Structure 1
Amino acid sequence: MSKILIVEDELAMLNGLRDNLDFEGYEVDTASRGDDGYKKLKSGNYDLVLLDVMLPGMSGFDICKKVRMEGNQTPIILLTARGEELDKVLGLEIGADDYVTKPFSLRELLARIKTILRRARSTSSSIDDWVEIGQLKISFESFEAKINDEPVKMSHKEFEILNYLYRHSGKIVTRDDLLDEVWGLDYQPTARTVDNFIVRLRNKINSEEVQHIVTVHGIGYKLVN
């Protein structure tokens, strides 16, 4: 049974989500303040978090950014009444896995939850052992990465992108491939967002002598290991 944490300060929304997720067979925990949600997320073992952006005590953006910096890779879906493109891009770039704008369809939210949980299980089980990609040593099962035996912080999205590139080593992967396979959302980030993630991965993988993620101009990328 998957365990989901809901962090939401609107009590009607919180109770409604809790009841519906409970009905769907999920184990549900809740918090109505950002600081309380952060403490629960940090200490609990959750499979997914529904995280409101505007919260008392600590914003959803701050929670997301902080737990990712601490190495917590629990999938996060941001919930917000905002609809601006800048907020969507920011949420994804700081490590959120999805972004749902209120008011939203419960059916849509449930579908996204199932998709992210399925993708997380697929990512963790696709490659069992530690592998070396450039200067990076990585375990896609435990979401750990090291350079010279020193831990390297990576977001959940970075693991997913690198996993996809690794499984297609030597082949050209287009930006649309990454958008469909890694994000797979009705709302999709821009090509700039994808490029930004690639830049981060290059900084972790590439050495001064070898470029392991190669740009195929006008098409996409290729991992050469």
Structure 2
Amino acid sequence: MPSVLLIEDEPALGMIVKDSLEVRGFAVQYAADGEEGLKLFRQQCPDIVVADVMMPKLDGFSLAEQIRRENRTVPIIFLTARSQPADVVRGFELGGSDYLKKPFSMDELIVRIRARLGQAPAAAPNEPATLRIGQYHFDHLKQRLHLGPHEEALTHREAELLKRLYDQRNQVLERTAVLQELWGDDNFFNGRSLDVFITRLRRYLKDDPQVQIVNVRGVGYKLIS
């Protein structure tokens, strides 16, 4: 049973979301503020975190920043009424996996939770377990990127995006197509999220100067290796 840590300072909304998730087969731990949420995160090690942004004691962005110091891979979905582009970008830069604006439907939240918890697809029959990207070794299924003794643990979406860039290496990966496939929509907010993820992948690959992810203006991205 997937475990969800729900952190929401509006008790009525928190209870509605908690009950709705439990009816659909999730085990839910509920916290009413960021400090309590961080404590539960350390105690329970949930599969996913769903957190409001504007909370007392410790806001959602600060909570995510703290969680990312301790765990780089657990998905974090922000719930918030804040929809300014700068807020959205900051949330993703701090390690958020998804961003859902209030008011939201429970069906949409559940779809996004399930998507973030999805397993990576099985490798194709003739595909090696480890892929070479320049000097890097990329294990798609285990979501790991290696360069010598150094190992980088990728999030599910980072691994899926890198796999698509690898499959289209030295060709253009179309921005609209990858947004539809991995984000479900090519709207402005998801587009800014994709930009943040591309920046992260560039940082992971920076130690091999022969590997580059270049922008193809108005079209998408190209992995050169």
TM class by smaller structure: 0.7 to 0.9
1:198 equivalent in alignment to 2:210: no
How far the C-alpha of 1:144 sits from its partner, in A, is 3.4
1:174 equivalent in alignment to 2:160: no
Q: Unaligned 5+ residue runs, structure 1?
A: none
Partner of 2:6: 6
Q: Which amino acid aligns with 1:106?
A: M
How far the C-alpha of 1:34 sits from its partner, in A, is 0.8
Equivalent residue of 2:189, what SS? Answer: coil
How far the C-alpha of 1:19 sits from its partner, in A, is 0.6
Partner of 1:94: 94
- Looking at structure 1, the residues matched to 99 and 77 of structure 2 have their Cα atoms a distance apart, in angstroms, of 6
TM-score by length of 2: 0.82
- Looking at structure 2, the residues matched to 224 and 208 of structure 1 have their Cα atoms a distance apart, in angstroms, of 11
Partner of 1:36: 36
The share of aligned pairs that are identical, in percent, is: 35
Tell me, yes or no, if the aligned pair for 1:215 and 1:221 is still in contact at 8 Å.
yes
Deviations 1:154-183 (A, max 9, x none): 555433321322243343201212322222
**Alignment of structure 1 residues 89-168 onto 2, 5 Å:** 89-118=89-118, 121-122=119-120, 125-126=122-123, 129-152=129-152, 154=154, 157-168=157-168
Deviations 1:24-48 (A, max 9, x none): 1111111112122123224433222
Q: Which amino acid aligns with 1:60?
A: G
How far the C-alpha of 1:95 sits from its partner, in A, is 1.9
Decide whether aligned partners of structure 1 residues 153 and 111 sit closer, same or farther in structure 2, where only a CA change above 3 A counts: closer
Tell me, yes or no, if the aligned pair for 1:206 and 1:213 is still in contact at 8 Å.
no
Deviations 1:130-149 (A, max 9, x none): 44423433433343334331
The count of aligned residue pairs is 222
Q: Unaligned 5+ residue runs, structure 2?
A: none
How far the C-alpha of 1:77 sits from its partner, in A, is 1.1
RMSD: 2.8
Tell me, yes or no, if the aligned pair for 1:73 and 1:143 is still in contact at 8 Å.
no
TM-score by length of 1: 0.82
